[in-house]
Structure 1
Amino acid sequence: MSIDPKTISKEDKISFIQSNSFAERTASILLSLPRGIKRSILMFADFIMSVVCLFLAVAARYGYLDHHVSLWLLSVSALIPVLCLYAIGFYNGVARGFFDAMMGSVLQLFFVLIIVAQTVLYFKLLPGIPRAVPILYLFLFFIWLWNSRLTIRELLARWQGQRPQYKYDDYDNVVIYGAGEAGKELLEGLKNSHKYNVVAYIDDDPQLTGAYLLGKKIYPAHRLVSLVDELEIAQVFLAIPSISRGQKRQIIDKLSGIAIKIKELPSLEEIADEKVTVSSMRKVDILDVLDRQTVEPDAKLLQLNIKDKCILVTGAGGSIGSELCRQVIKNQPKCIVLYELSEFALYSIHQELIAKQANDSIYQDIEVVAVIGSVTNEDNLLRIFKLYSIQTVYHAAAYKHVPMVEHNPFEGVINNTKGTYHCARAAIKANVETFVLISTDKAVRPTNVMGASKRLAELVCQALSQIDSQTCISMVRFGNVLGSSGSVVPVFTKQIQKGLPITVTHPDVTRYFMTIPEAANLVIQAGAMALGGEVFVLDMGEPVKIVDLAHRMIHLSGFDVKDAAHPNGDIEVIFTGLRAGEKLYEELIIGEDNVESTNHPLIMQAIEHSFPLADIEKVLFELTEKQKQFDVPWLKLQFKQFVAGYKVNT
Structure 2
Amino acid sequence: MLLSFDWSMVFAAFYLAFVLRYGTAFPIERFAASWPVTVLLMCLAPVAIIGLRLPWIKLSSFDMRGALRVAVVAMILSSVVSLTSLVFDIGSVRSIPAIFAAGYFALAIFGRMVALQLLTSLGGSGSVTRVAIFGAGAAGIQLSSALRQSPEVVPVCFFDDNPSYKGLLIAGLRVHPRAELERIINAEGIKRILVAIPSLDQTDLADLVTELSRLDIDLQVLPSYVDLIYGKSKELKTVAPNTLLGRDNVDLDIPEIAKTYAGRTAMVTGAGGSIGSELCKQLVECRPQKIVLFEQSEFALYEIEAALRPIATEKNIELVARLGSVCNAVRVEDVLTTEKVEVVLHAAAYKHVPMVEDNEVEGARNNVLGTQIVAEAANKCGVDRFILISTDKAVRPTNVMGATKRLAELVLQDLATRSTHTRYSMVRFGNVLGSSGSVLPLFQRQIRQGGPITVTHPDVTRFFMTIPEAARLVLLAAVFAKGGDVFILDMGKPMKIVDVARRMVEMSGASVQSPDNMGGIEIKITGLRPGEKLYEELLIDDDSLLPTPHAKILRADEARLSQIETARMLRDLASAVQNSDKAMVRTVIERDVQGYHRADLTGTAKPQLG
TM range, smaller chain: 0.5 to 0.7
Query: Does structure 1 residue 580 correspond to structure 2 residue 530?
Result: yes
- Residues 463-490 of structure 1: per-residue CA shift (max 9 Å, x gap): 1111132111100012101111111121
Taking the aligned partners of 1:458 and 1:252, their CA distance within structure 2 comes to 42
Note the C-alpha offset of 1:332.
1.4
What is residue 31 of structure 2 aligned with on the other side? none
Note the C-alpha offset of 1:551.
2.3
Corresponding residue to 1:603 among 540, 543, 553: 553
Taking the aligned partners of 2:379 and 2:169, their CA distance within structure 1 comes to 69
TM-align CA RMSD: 4.0
Taking the aligned partners of 2:519 and 2:208, their CA distance within structure 1 comes to 26
Q: Which residues in structure 2 correspond to 1:317-466 (within 5 Å)?
A: 317-357=272-312, 361=314, 363=315, 365-466=316-417
What is residue 156 of structure 1 aligned with on the other side? none
Taking the aligned partners of 2:457 and 2:215, their CA distance within structure 1 comes to 25
How has the CA–CA distance of structure 1 residues 518 and 243 changed in structure 2, closer, same or farther, with 3 Å as cutoff? closer
How has the CA–CA distance of structure 1 residues 233 and 541 changed in structure 2, closer, same or farther, with 3 Å as cutoff? closer
Corresponding residue to 1:648 among 580, 592, 598: 598
What is residue 464 of structure 2 aligned with on the other side? 513
What is residue 540 of structure 2 aligned with on the other side? 590
- The answer to whether the 8 Å contact 1:248/1:288 transfers is no
Q: Which residues in structure 2 correspond to 1:72-111 (within 5 Å)?
A: none
Corresponding residue to 1:16 among 53, 58, 67: 58
What is residue 100 of structure 1 aligned with on the other side? none
What is residue 613 of structure 1 aligned with on the other side? 563
- The answer to whether the 8 Å contact 2:193/2:219 transfers is no
Taking the aligned partners of 2:245 and 2:133, their CA distance within structure 1 comes to 24
What is residue 423 of structure 2 aligned with on the other side? 472
- Residues 50-99 of structure 1: per-residue CA shift (max 9 Å, x gap): xxxxxxxxxxxxxxxxxxxxxxxxxxxxxxxxxxxxxxxxxxxxxxxxxx
TM-score (normalised: structure 1): 0.64
Note the C-alpha offset of 1:375.
0.6
- SS in structure 2 of the partner of residue 562 of structure 1: coil
Query: Does structure 1 residue 544 correspond to structure 2 residue 495?
Result: yes
What is residue 220 of structure 2 aligned with on the other side? 260
Amino acid in the other structure paired with 1:331: C
How has the CA–CA distance of structure 1 residues 292 and 386 changed in structure 2, closer, same or farther, with 3 Å as cutoff? same
Note the C-alpha offset of 1:203.
4.5
Q: Which residues in structure 2 correspond to 1:521-560 (within 5 Å)?
A: 521-560=472-511
Give the number of aligned pairs: 468
How has the CA–CA distance of structure 1 residues 518 and 257 changed in structure 2, closer, same or farther, with 3 Å as cutoff? farther
Residues 282-291 or 485-494, more deviating? 282-291
What is residue 294 of structure 1 aligned with on the other side? 249
Taking the aligned partners of 1:299 and 1:213, their CA distance within structure 2 comes to 49
Amino acid in the other structure paired with 1:261: V
- Residues 296-324 of structure 1: per-residue CA shift (max 9 Å, x gap): 22331321332221111001111111111
- Residues 584-618 of structure 1: per-residue CA shift (max 9 Å, x gap): 11111112322122221221111211123343233
Amino acid in the other structure paired with 1:501: P
- The answer to whether the 8 Å contact 2:238/2:444 transfers is no
Taking the aligned partners of 2:55 and 2:439, their CA distance within structure 1 comes to 45
- The answer to whether the 8 Å contact 1:446/1:646 transfers is yes
Taking the aligned partners of 2:61 and 2:249, their CA distance within structure 1 comes to 58
Taking the aligned partners of 1:575 and 1:191, their CA distance within structure 2 comes to 37
TM-score (normalised: structure 2): 0.68
Amino acid in the other structure paired with 1:634: M
Query: Does structure 1 residue 494 correspond to structure 2 residue 445?
Result: yes
How has the CA–CA distance of structure 1 residues 460 and 18 changed in structure 2, closer, same or farther, with 3 Å as cutoff? closer
Query: Does structure 1 residue 236 correspond to structure 2 residue 196?
Result: yes
What is residue 305 of structure 1 aligned with on the other side? 260
Note the C-alpha offset of 1:646.
0.9
Taking the aligned partners of 1:391 and 1:351, their CA distance within structure 2 comes to 24
Query: Does structure 1 residue 221 correspond to structure 2 residue 181?
Result: no
Larger Rg: 2
Taking the aligned partners of 2:245 and 2:220, their CA distance within structure 1 comes to 18
Amino acid in the other structure paired with 1:518: E
Q: Which residues in structure 2 correspond to 1:128-277 (within 5 Å)?
A: 177=135, 187=138, 202-204=159-161, 206=163, 209-210=166-167, 219-223=176-180, 226=184, 234-237=194-197, 239=199, 248=208, 251-253=211-213, 257-261=217-221
How has the CA–CA distance of structure 1 residues 299 and 599 changed in structure 2, closer, same or farther, with 3 Å as cutoff? closer
Note the C-alpha offset of 1:505.
1.2
Note the C-alpha offset of 1:357.
4.5
Residues 213-222 or 542-551, more deviating? 213-222
- SS in structure 2 of the partner of residue 259 of structure 1: strand
Structure 1: 5+ residue runs without aligned partners? 1-11, 28-172, 265-276
How has the CA–CA distance of structure 1 residues 215 and 577 changed in structure 2, closer, same or farther, with 3 Å as cutoff? closer
Residues 635-644 or 578-587, more deviating? 635-644
Note the C-alpha offset of 1:389.
1.6
Structure with greater contact order relative to length (CA < 8 Å, sep ≥ 6):
2
- Residues 390-433 of structure 1: per-residue CA shift (max 9 Å, x gap): 11111000000111111111110110011111111111111111
Taking the aligned partners of 1:640 and 1:553, their CA distance within structure 2 comes to 38
What is residue 116 of structure 2 aligned with on the other side? none
Amino acid in the other structure paired with 1:16: K
How has the CA–CA distance of structure 1 residues 282 and 552 changed in structure 2, closer, same or farther, with 3 Å as cutoff? closer
Residues 542-551 or 216-225, more deviating? 216-225
Note the C-alpha offset of 1:372.
0.8
Amino acid in the other structure paired with 2:219: A
How has the CA–CA distance of structure 1 residues 245 and 644 changed in structure 2, closer, same or farther, with 3 Å as cutoff? farther
How has the CA–CA distance of structure 1 residues 495 and 22 changed in structure 2, closer, same or farther, with 3 Å as cutoff? closer
Note the C-alpha offset of 1:330.
1.8
What is residue 631 of structure 1 aligned with on the other side? 581
How has the CA–CA distance of structure 1 residues 243 and 614 changed in structure 2, closer, same or farther, with 3 Å as cutoff? closer
Residues 545-554 or 530-539, more deviating? 545-554
Taking the aligned partners of 1:196 and 1:20, their CA distance within structure 2 comes to 14
Taking the aligned partners of 2:205 and 2:251, their CA distance within structure 1 comes to 13
How has the CA–CA distance of structure 1 residues 308 and 201 changed in structure 2, closer, same or farther, with 3 Å as cutoff? farther
Amino acid in the other structure paired with 1:236: A
Note the C-alpha offset of 1:19.
11
Taking the aligned partners of 2:388 and 2:431, their CA distance within structure 1 comes to 16
How has the CA–CA distance of structure 1 residues 482 and 642 changed in structure 2, closer, same or farther, with 3 Å as cutoff? same
- SS in structure 1 of the partner of residue 350 of structure 2: coil
Note the C-alpha offset of 1:188.
10
- The answer to whether the 8 Å contact 1:262/1:284 transfers is no
Taking the aligned partners of 1:289 and 1:195, their CA distance within structure 2 comes to 31
- SS in structure 1 of the partner of residue 266 of structure 2: strand
- SS in structure 2 of the partner of residue 312 of structure 1: strand
Residues 319-328 or 245-254, more deviating? 245-254
- The answer to whether the 8 Å contact 1:174/1:237 transfers is no
- The answer to whether the 8 Å contact 2:389/2:428 transfers is yes
Taking the aligned partners of 2:351 and 2:378, their CA distance within structure 1 comes to 23
Identity %: 42
What is residue 270 of structure 2 aligned with on the other side? 315
- The answer to whether the 8 Å contact 1:640/1:647 transfers is yes
Amino acid in the other structure paired with 2:218: I
Taking the aligned partners of 2:63 and 2:595, their CA distance within structure 1 comes to 78
